[in-house]
A and B are shown apart, each in its own frame.
Chain A
Amino acid sequence: MATIIKEEKLSSIEQFNCNSCGNGLEVFNPRAKYISCQYCGSVLDTKSEQHEILMSMSPPTEHQPMSFIKVGLLANFFDKKYQVIARTRWQQDYYEYWSEEGETGYSRELWIYDEWLMISEQRTYFYLVEDKDGYYISEEIVPDNPSLPNESSHWSFMKNQRPQIINEYGSASVIYFEGESNYQIKLNDLIQFASYKHKNTIYTAEWRINELNNQIKEIEFFKEDKISKKEIIQAFENNEELDGLRRKGEIWQWLTYGAFASAILFFVLMFTSFGGTKQVFTQTFNFAELNDSALFKSKPIQLDETGLYCIELRGGIEVTNSEAFVLAYFLNNEDEVINHLDGDFSVYSGFDSDGYWTESTEEADKLVKVKETGTYHAKLMLDREDAVTGSVTLNIFSGVVLTRYYVIGWLIFLLLGFIFRSSMKKYF
């Protein structure tokens, strides 16, 4: 298991207390002009002596981060150390492409996502985007064939890419900000965007419109690659805050593997336990020897081991459409009846529209736990019509294993395995 290296946070260039709530703030980005207090939402000026409050955002409780990521955490990306220094929450009001059963169209959607600003030791940046669906690494790129999307819904701006369906287009505005910023934070600052997908990467163009003259102010192009939650957790693992999360994830992981391993074990045991039964007694009694008024004594039944035994009566009726009832008493060596087994046997047959049929019941058995070894014997009685001929065999088997617990076991552990697995998935 990886040892957690407690990495040091980046060295801050400034520390001061928030004028509004008094909580300590640290500035890591030398170019940052503004810092939004993550505790009370006030935006302060970093450069001036007094750090005056410039504006107030909505309180942080309204816009809590979606997962464990928060401002101040360290992360390892692209073999470099990064620190989270800001978060911008955007609300997207856009149209999303759909296609179903030959029909296509755009549906209006609202979506919220967070952009985490990550700064490296060398003060280079990238954005980590987080939304309900997962995480993405966003990078500004220089397009090969720049253009703005127009009414036709196919578009692309990189070479070696056929124009793709525009997946989403619309606008987005900032609804919350925390952390350091080089620019003045403008709530409700609106951007227009359009994006398409090529392989597993999302390509987006974003532009701002000058409200005064309705002209575009600036256009930027980005690409976004999805990154799995597992990689995210790995990237952030050197944070104390993540210890608790990681430990929980590992516990679920062990429980999941343990449950599946147990399920497999029980499944295998269920099959392997069928062997090992041994016949320790057998005797066949002809119906002619038995009757319903006198008991017929069997040979001695020697049971030398304690444990589970299976006692079985097998009928062999020779006449169809007849019945016989057999009762076997079991006696210990003090000649006391201690158990019994009865068999209600019958054989029927006939013809119907499907052809010839037979129905028979010719077996009766029970499992018993023998606690005292010794010599036992059986006494049998039989009730039948005189014309019914046949025989009945008494068999006793040792080395019997109850498979029912293995069946219950593997079913329950299989179910538990899937339940644990879904909990585990939250961490990996």
Chain B
Amino acid sequence: MNNPRSIEMAVGAFVAAGLAALFVLAMQVSNITAFQRTEGYTVVGYFQNVGGLRERAPVRLSGVQIGRVSAIRLDQQRLEARVEVTIDAAYDDLPSDTAASIRTSGLLGEQYVSLEPGGMPDALGQGDEFMLTQSALVLEDIVGQFLYEQSGGGGSD
């Protein structure tokens, strides 16, 4: 065997390399920064149907990501989905009548919340609500509606 000093050195280097690899995996491979709660303010939106939207889905305005979905729950009173969105504190001047809709990126991609800015002078703040929301498009509903209209609209429901 080598002398104990060099063995200790080698083991120390091994442990350090292993921990460093884990650290790099955490920082470079996974989104551990996005895993933490983002600095920003929370805005609430009520949707008839959130489709396949999930927590931590991106929130985009003009295609630029400005926040994340922080919570999705069912509101018992309104019987609608209550979606909480955390918007980066850097974007603190969105008009208060900004509209939110749930869109799909690409034909089969993930769902995200898309914001359409309005024209009001005052800004959205912590705890505000999106006044206009548009639910996710559910393919079955669209096909059903199409068939219903094709058959003449009337008749039995």
Q: Do A and B bind each other?
A: no
